[in-house]
Structure formats: C-alpha cells, structure tokens
Amino acid sequence: MKAIVYREYGSADVLKLEEVPKPLPGDNEVLIKVRAAAVNPLDWHLMRGVPSFVRLFTGLQKPKHTRLGADVAGEVESVGSSVTGLKPGDSVFGAVDGAFAEYVSASESLLALKPQNVTYEQAAAVPIGGLTALQALRDKGKLQPGQKVLINGAAGGVGTFAVQISKWMGARVTGICGTRNVDLVRGIGAERVIDYTREDFTANSERYDVIFDLVGNRPLGDFRRVLKPRGIFIGCGGGGPETPAGHLLAGMIQQLVLGWFTSQKLVGILAKRSKNDLGALSELMESGKVTPVIDRRFSLSEVPEAIRYLETGHARGKVVISLG
C-alpha cells in the first residue's frame, strides 16, 4: 500500500509517498480502508520536531515513528479476534496514528461509527479538532447556558467546532477572526463576530466567563483584562512553525504562575482520545448541531502541500486528504 513516510525532521520536503507493508490488525484492532484523513497542527509539530522539547518523546535525532496523520474516516476491512463492537463493512471515524495511508490499523477504542448523514471527508475532519473543542469547553471551561464565551481563532480547525459546540451548550458566543471569515463565523452560530483587523477586542467593555484562545498571538494580560474575575482562560494556540520553543515555554510558565495569584483560572488543553466523546460528536453531527467546515481537499500524494498550506495559519476550518 502507499503511505506518507518521514525519516528525518524538517519542512514538508521530508515527507515522501512510499510503498509500505499493509498493516495487520492486532487482537483489539481493526483494519481500516482509509477514505479520508485530515491535517492538524500536530502533524507539522511532529514533522518538524518542534517545539524542540517534544523530541524527548518523539526521538532526539530522528523520529521514532515515521508515519503521520491522526484524523481518519473509512471502512472496516477486517477485525481482530477480540473486537466485538465493529465488523467488516462498518463506516468509522476516529483519532489514530498513521492515517496518511491507504490502510491503517487502530484500536477499537479509538473509533466510532460514522453518521450516515455526513461524508467520509466531513467525518475525517472531526476527531482532533472536535475532541479539543468539546473537552476544552465542557471539561476545562465548565461552560454553562447563558454564559459568554470568547473564541480567538474562531474560523480555524478547532475554532469552527468551538463556535458550534458553544452554541449547542447554550452559551453566548463571540468569535474573533479576519475579515474574510466574518460571515463564516456568524453563519455557524456566533452571536457576535470581531474582525481583528478592524477592532481590538480589549477596547470594549464586554467581559467573558470563558475565553478560548486558539491562536497564541496576544499577551495573556490582554485576555485577562476582558475575562471576568472568576472567569476561565483556556490556552491552546501554539504559534506557527517559526515560533521559538522558549516563547512557548515562557507562555506556559507565565500561565501556570499567574494562576497561583488570581481568582481567574488559567488552563491549557491537550485533547484526549475518547470513544465516548467521539460518540458525542457523532450525535451532534447526526442531529445537525455540528457541521464540519472544510476549506480545501488534497490527495494522498499532496499531503506535503496540504501541510504547507496549514502552516500558513490561514485555513478556514479543516484541510482534508481525500482517498476516494
């Protein structure tokens, strides 16, 4: 089978489309014929080995694991001997390892059934972005009906899910985005949209119960000024590929230290792969409460180009890899 492989850290030039052995599912795994995958910032972080401290886990000089791609949707081709919840022919989606390939094997616990009313491309767009938004707002932000939430980066891969999930949770949503995305963000449920090229969100008197920052382009103090005294700030923006590791680490330390001296709660979010939460996202898609926003589609051989596009920071919603 064909798959995207990388054996050294670097730009998207290190990614190669190669012929590799077709995986065999373990006892608790299923073999998926990949119909679609999606690109995440996680992919270029792993590809480049940045911030540098991630190499403590991924390999100091070269990557221990040579395959990328976490979001997948496809058809179950075969199942391991201990699998009970899925069968050949089932349409599934989930968060896996090595999705940029014609086939991938994954634990049954990482997958959920794809709703019939969404395409494979739409389903593949959901796992990492949807899980991040859901777990941030529900578990970290404790978002309640009627509360005000500010989402910085509302038009991005996580932001488009965050807007829709916040609305579903009954919150009053304000989204921050660029001019070309104002109508998009309003169309998916934001009550108010701030165009950052024309308006500084810190200049008005609005105060928010929850702030979800998905960009990381403003000082923490700017957000704290518009956060209620007992509000919750959730940081998720990691900057772009050129952001120094020291800058990211300093931001995390600042967030941690300030949290000791203020009634405001300052937290980060790293999504956990959860079958139950994938099921919840599946129900939201099936009911029409959440509709994945897809910006561009690329083929498997165009994964390097897709990642280059994502690295520009201007994707509207998700960037999808379509395998037909």
pLDDT, one tens digit per residue, over 251-281 is: 545 555 555 557 899 999 999 999 999 999 9
Find out if CATH 3.40.50.920 is the number for domain 129-268.
no
Q: Which of left, alpha, beta for 89 (phi over 0: left; psi -120 to 50: alpha)?
A: left
Average pLDDT of the residues of the chain: 93
151 CB burial (10 A radius; 0-12, 13-18, 19+): buried
Whether 248 shows a pLDDT value over 90: the answer reads: no
Q: Per residue in 172-216, pLDDT tens?
A: 999 999 999 999 999 999 999 999 999 999 998 899 999 999 999
Task: Name the token pair of 316.
Answer: 């509207």
Q: Where are the domains of the chain?
A: 2-126+292-322, 129-268
> CATH for 2-126+292-322, among 2.60.260.20, 3.40.718.10, 3.90.180.10, 3.40.50.720?
3.90.180.10
DSSP H stretches of helix in the chain: 41-48, 55-58, 120-124, 127-135, 159-168, 182-187, 220-225, 245-258, 275-286, 303-311
The pLDDT of residue 246: 42
Neighbouring C-beta atoms of residue 116, cutoff 10 Å = 7
Domains 2-126+292-322 and 129-268 share a fold: no
Please give the Cα distance from 72 to 320 (Å, whole number). Answer: 10
Q: What's the pTM? A: 0.92
Range scoring the smallest mean pLDDT among 105-114, 152-161, 246-255: 246-255
- Residue 224: half-sphere exposure toward Cβ, Cα within 13 Å: 14
Which residue is it, tokens 């994954």? 106
Beta-ladder partners of 195 = 177
Range scoring the smallest mean pLDDT among 100-104, 114-118, 242-246: 242-246
The pLDDT of residue 321: 98
Q: Which of left, alpha, beta for 285 (phi over 0: left; psi -120 to 50: alpha)?
A: alpha
